Amino acid sequence: MKKLQFLALFLLLSGLETSAQVFDASIEKKIDVLLKKMTLKEKIGQMNQLSADDMETNYKVIQQGMAGSVLSITNPEIANKAQKIAVEQTRLGIPLIIGRDVIHGFKTIFPIPLGQAASFNPDLVENAARIAAIEASETGIRWTFAPMIDIARDPRWGRIAESCGEDPYLTSVMGVAMVKGFQGKNLSDPTSIAACAKHFAGYGAAEGGRDYNTTNITERQFRNTYLVPFEEAVKKADLATIMTAFNANDGIPSSGNEFLLKQMLRKEWNFKGFVVSDWASITEMVDHGFCTDNKEAAQKAINAGVDMEMVSGTYVAFVESLLKEKKINIETINDAVRNILRIKFKLGLFENPYVKGNTEAVFYKKEHLETAQKTAEESVVLLKNEAQILPLKNPKTIAVFGPLADAPHDQLGTWVFDGDKNHSVTPLQALKDQYGKNIKILYEPILKYSRDKDSTEFYKARKIAKEADVVLLFVGEESILSGEAHSLSNLNLQGVQSQLLATLAKTKTPIITVVLAGRPLTIEKEVKGSNAVLYAWHPGTMGGPALVNLLFGKANPSAKLPITFPKNVGQIPMYYSHLKTGRPANGSELNVENIPIEASQTSLGNKSYYLDSGNEPLFAFGFGLSYTTFEYGKTTLAKSVLKQDETIEISFSLKNTGNYDGAEVVQLYMRDIAGSIALPVKELKAFKRVELKAGESKNVKVDLKISDLVFYGIDMKKKVEAGKFDLWVGSSSVTGEKVSFEVQ
């Protein structure tokens, strides 16, 4: 008997391990009772999401029981009115779920997600999402279409701004943090909003970085790279919803992809939430050439497992006839409705459909702004600091130039629908507020916006720069140049910003360049031409004070790049965890500058290499400087031969050898030397933020379970393969001493 009890407990616990989607028997009972009462029409209604564009029409549709959700209501009175109709004027009184794109803040805007990922600080990121949820939920929003956890390795793709960058591990950690922040401790808390991981799946791998373009990801790449953050969000954060992607992978649009939606999501991961299409991604399956008409599109989406349709209305139009024609099955409809109702019950919408709408007390609260500022401080990456010019040391006169020094709208970044630029504190404003009394600040934008090509005021810039001790130049890209459908084929600074920098460089006044952008830009020559460079992404509402604190050393940069910075567009795709190839470059390659004339075909050696720009990026993944310096001691492993169920204990000393207190993001990379398939040259497996006072030293321990080294090998099974491994602990993906171990 005891043995049986033990077995049951073991099964329960191991079940929890494989799927942490919280199961609530009482909710399942309520769903069954409700589902039995529902007519087919009412079921179809639950699967339909309306857009808030025309609320007068929507009220009627809601009253007829033909809507389960409305997207983008942001006014609490309208939310309550719509909800009242659903709850009091429909037969079964099923509440609506109101969704909105709350991507990096609702009113208080945090750095773009790519910037947040640069913090390598999941606690801070979770807190940012929590605040976004607190502000949004006060208006009746109980569902956000975030986080976007697409692996993004092509900076031409404008949506890279919304991503956590190129790495599956970092994206997983950040994605889990965001889901936890949005959803709170319990979904039924009125400040909790259901998260929606998107876009499922592979959307970030669009050919050429052109948005919505085709992808060609193999099943193994899906499993080993692109799906990893989704699986983690489902299993580690009890993710409530998932959105299908726009792209067709290997010819199959995501909203009709049974492998992704059935095999992976439901069967292998046991996902219990609901799946929503992207905006009209169901009818776009006709444009893809995957369906002949909208009716077939509805059929394919339903059969693939898309539970709710965002705005395109094909479910309402065709489900009844598709059922009659036996092209879809009533059980599939019942399952979809169950999934939707489950989240509505979990959110407590049946008990608590209305919102107080006490927005004034909640929006832009002091502690929200403080967290936004801290998040921005921790997201800005110091790329160069020649002769320790930063932090600034008592300058008497500062010249401030550039189109982004005082651009309250653009510093907010892409996907900001609700944040108000009047609340933005710009770098110029913050500089004046904090130092205006003691430092002479000479400000001229010179260029009105990032694309401005008018250089007629350059003479002014030269004149002013000569009078100053230091130049602060704020360049980059406007927020509209990144985000959805904003792909670029050229990643140089827009307009004549580079020329402005070159002009200023002639004055010999030191130049600190601050780049505000939604993506990595190809800034090799601007980095050379500047004495220091801070990469600030689009830092949000409190970007100004954060940057001023960093410039003056009230805060010390600690962020690291969540994405490789290529030297030029031709190097893309460029990511640190690439495969080695059979002919890796070894550093002895010749290049276009020094190839002898009429060299013979094979005289250069045959290596996988760009003759004109090499294989080195401008800045590597994980790179980022501090005002202080850190010294890593020798890496020791507690054991060098380990079994599959063991944990590898890694320890080393870390010393702050500089003059400033600071935080170092310690990164642990691994390489599986030989497997049943070729594996990446390095993979991030863990990281840790370590705070150290100037001169302080700590012994740092990082534990890594051998079971975390799993991957899908030749037989498409997830397991660790025995063999030899290399490991590096360091401050970026290109540093660290190599140590080796073996797994038996």
**Catalytic amino acids?**
278
649 binds ligand BGC, rule: CB under 6 A: no
Site string for ligand BGC, 133-162 (x = CB under 6 A): ------------x-----------------
DSSP 324-360: HTTSS-HHHHHHHHHHHHHHHHHTTTTT-------HH
Q: How many helices (H) and strands (E) does the chain have?
A: 22, 27
Q: How does strand 48-51 pair with strand 69-71?
A: parallel
Tokens of 113: 């997600």
418 binds ligand BGC, rule: CB under 6 A: no
Q: Specify the residue, 243 or 265, whose C-beta has the smaller distance to ligand BGC.
A: 243
Q: How far is the CB of 432 from ligand BGC (least distance, A)?
A: 37
Q: Specify the residue, 71 or 362, whose C-beta has the smaller distance to ligand BGC.
A: 71
Q: How far is the CB of 601 from ligand BGC (least distance, A)?
A: 48
Size of the site for ligand BGC (CB under 6 A): 6
Q: Is 436 helix (H, G, I), strand (E, B) or coil?
A: coil
Q: How far is the CB of 3 from ligand BGC (least distance, A)?
A: 50
User: Which among 145, 144, 147, 107 has a CA at the least distance from the CA of 125?
Assistant: 147
Site string for ligand BGC, 198-237 (x = CB under 6 A): x---------------------------------------
Q: How far is the CB of 726 from ligand BGC (least distance, A)?
A: 38
User: Which among 58, 75, 67, 73 has a CA at the least distance from the CA of 95?
Assistant: 67
Round to whole Å and give the CA distance between 671 and 686.
13
Q: Specify the residue, 34 or 245, whose C-beta has the smaller distance to ligand BGC.
A: 245
Query: Could you give phi then psi for residue 653, rounded to 5 degrees?
Result: -100, 150
Query: Could you give phi then psi for residue 164, rounded to 5 degrees?
Result: -105, 15
Residue with tokens 């991961």: 269
Q: How far is the CB of 198 from ligand BGC (least distance, A)?
A: 5
Instruction: Report DSSP state, residue 584.
Output: B
484 binds ligand BGC, rule: CB under 6 A: yes
Q: How far is the CB of 307 from ligand BGC (least distance, A)?
A: 16
Q: How far is the CB of 480 from ligand BGC (least distance, A)?
A: 15
Contact status, residue 562 vs residue 170, Cβ threshold 8 Å? yes
Does the bond joining 680 to the residue before it have cis omega, within 30 degrees of 0? no
DSSP H helices, 238-382, are 258, 284-288, 294-304, 314-324, 330-346, 359-362, 366-377
Q: Specify the residue, 145 or 345, whose C-beta has the smaller distance to ligand BGC.
A: 145
Site string for ligand BGC, 257-286 (x = CB under 6 A): ---------------------xx-------
What are the DSSP E strand ranges found in 47-87? Answer: 48-51, 69-71
552 binds ligand BGC, rule: CB under 6 A: no
User: Which among 529, 551, 518 has a CA at the least distance from the CA of 450?
Assistant: 518
Tokens of 222: 């899906």
Q: How far is the CB of 648 from ligand BGC (least distance, A)?
A: 38
Round to whole Å and give the CA distance between 158 and 306.
26
Q: Specify the residue, 242 or 559, whose C-beta has the smaller distance to ligand BGC.
A: 242
Q: Specify the residue, 230 or 576, whose C-beta has the smaller distance to ligand BGC.
A: 230
Q: Specify the residue, 309 or 683, whose C-beta has the smaller distance to ligand BGC.
A: 309
Residue in the shown chain whose Cβ atom is closest to ligand BGC: 145
Tokens of 686: 């863990």
Q: Specify the residue, 285 or 328, whose C-beta has the smaller distance to ligand BGC.
A: 285
Q: Report the site for ligand BGC in 67-86 (rule: CB under 6 A).
A: none
101 binds ligand BGC, rule: CB under 6 A: yes
Q: Is 539 helix (H, G, I), strand (E, B) or coil?
A: coil
Round to whole Å and give the CA distance between 638 and 641.
9
Site string for ligand BGC, 183-202 (x = CB under 6 A): ---------------x----
List of residues contacting ligand BGC (CB under 6 A): 101, 145, 198, 278-279, 484
